[in-house]
């Protein structure tokens, strides 16, 4: 179980590596003024690159708007007390460095993934787990996701930290979304909704530009449940068929005014201008990494032939 793996290895020699990285990023920023024109298939993940010309006539490259859904962990923690521009910048540099070594693909809650982790205690030194992503969270290097599967009639959930150096491979077997952002209700659902074979192979996407939304409505087991699902506005669950008093109590306890609380929303989000700045900073490197991997994948099978 990978729970709180302390990323000591990254922080060794921080001072020395900071200067090296700084120099590297300066030279990279000089390179990224002229982004690589990709001759990719139409409707690729990168979408349309918007180039806004500023007054001086230099083109300003702006990341496409889908980036905030594809790479949400690049946005910092919105809690104001914990904001620190320098820390966030260093974290983003570290994240890009890690992403250059291992591919962390685009995934959403509801996607089925296979993760291989280096494990010194297993006979072959790797441990592989396949499961459905029920939740993702964290920001920066502490970004995590939880995979759930049912193994030998026992539900198993593993929390993986995406940037942990022990992770060898993250593969998305089926890329799709569900109707809810958090699928914690699968814990109270019938086991067939959380069971996925370990030998499952990666499925080919029919349409590269759109991530399909699976409109499945899951059946829950009879009560007792781990949470009061009737109080959460769940879209992906079948009718709960509870006595009316549950729904009445849910109405009493509900906070309908929170929907209109503009400042509460503001304190939970990163403003759009900041998001644009962050993604403009990282997207060129992410695209370069993506391109290199695509080329390698194409060359791989052809070189074997």
Residues at the interface with another protein (CB under 8 A): 68-69, 72-73, 75-81, 136-140, 142-143, 255, 257-258, 260-275
Q: 75 or 132: whose CB is closer to another protein?
A: 75
CB of 250 to another protein, least distance (A): 16
3-state SS string for the chain: CCCCCCCHHHHCCHHHHHHHHHHHHHHHHHHCCCCCCCCCCCCCCCCCCEEEECCCCCEEEECCCCHHHHCHHHCCCCCHHHCCHHHHHHHHHHHHHHHHHCCCCCCCCCCEEEEEEECCCCCCCEEEEEEEEEEEECCHHHCEEEEEEEECCEEEEEEEECCCCCEEEEEEEECCECCCCCCHHHHHECHHHHCCCCCCCCCCCCCCCCCCECCCCECECCCCCCCCHHHCCCCCECCCCCCHHHHHHHHHHCCHHHHHCHHHHHHHCCCHHHHHHHHHHHHHHHHHHHHHHHHHHHHHHHHHC
CB of 267 to another protein, least distance (A): 7
CB of 215 to another protein, least distance (A): 19
CB of 180 to another protein, least distance (A): 12
Q: What is the distance of C-alpha 79 from the center of its chain?
A: 20
The answer to whether 145 touches 159, Cβ cutoff 8 Å, is yes
Residues in the chain: 305
CB of 29 to another protein, least distance (A): 23
For 4, the token pair is: 């709180």
CB of 88 to another protein, least distance (A): 12
Q: Cβ contacts of residue 294 below 8 Å, gap of 6+?
A: 40
CB of 63 to another protein, least distance (A): 14
Q: 25 or 275: whose CB is closer to another protein?
A: 275
Q: 68 or 294: whose CB is closer to another protein?
A: 68
CB of 135 to another protein, least distance (A): 10
For 272, the token pair is: 């759009």
Q: 81 or 199: whose CB is closer to another protein?
A: 81
Q: 27 or 79: whose CB is closer to another protein?
A: 79
Q: 219 or 267: whose CB is closer to another protein?
A: 267
The answer to whether 270 touches 78, Cβ cutoff 8 Å, is yes
Q: 19 or 260: whose CB is closer to another protein?
A: 260
Q: 23 or 272: whose CB is closer to another protein?
A: 272
What is the C-alpha separation between 59 and 224, in angstroms, rounded? 59
């Amino acid at each position: 179980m990978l729970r709180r793996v302390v990323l000591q290895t990254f922080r060794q020699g921080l001072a020395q590596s900071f200067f090296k990285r700084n120099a590297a990023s300066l030279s990279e920023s000089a390179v990224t003024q002229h982004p690589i024109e990709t001759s990719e298939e139409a409707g690729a993940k990168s979408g349309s690159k918007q180039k806004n010309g500023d007054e001086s006539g230099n083109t300003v490259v702006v990341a496409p708007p889908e980036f905030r859904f594809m790479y949400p962990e690049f946005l910092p923690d919105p809690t104001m007390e914990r904001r620190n521009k320098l820390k966030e910048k260093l974290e983003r540099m570290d994240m890009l460095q890690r992403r250059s070594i291992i591919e962390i693909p685009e995934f959403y809650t509801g996607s089925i993934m296979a993760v291989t982790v280096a494990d010194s205690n297993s006979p072959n030194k790797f441990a592989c787990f396949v499961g459905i992503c029920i939740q993702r969270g964290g920001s920066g290097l502490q970004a995590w996701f939880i995979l759930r599967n049912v193994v030998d009639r026992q539900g198993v959930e593993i929390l993986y930290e995406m940037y942990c150096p022990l992770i060898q491979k993250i593969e998305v077997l089926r890329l799709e979304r569900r109707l809810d952002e958090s699928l914690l209700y699968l814990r109270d659902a019938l086991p067939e909704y959380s069971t996925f074979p370990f030998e499952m192979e990666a499925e080919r996407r029919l349409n590269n530009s759109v991530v399909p939304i699976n409109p499945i409505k899951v059946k829950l087991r009879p009560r007792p449940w781990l949470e009061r699902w009737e109080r959460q506005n769940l879209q992906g669950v079948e009718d709960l068929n509870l006595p009316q008093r549950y729904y009445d109590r849910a109405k009493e306890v509900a906070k309908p005014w929170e929907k209109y609380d503009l400042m509460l929303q503001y304190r939970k989000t990163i403003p759009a201008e900041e998001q644009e700045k962050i993604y403009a900073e990282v997207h060129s490197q992410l695209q370069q990494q993506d391109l290199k991997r695509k080329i390698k994948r194409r060359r791989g099978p052809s070189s074997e032939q």
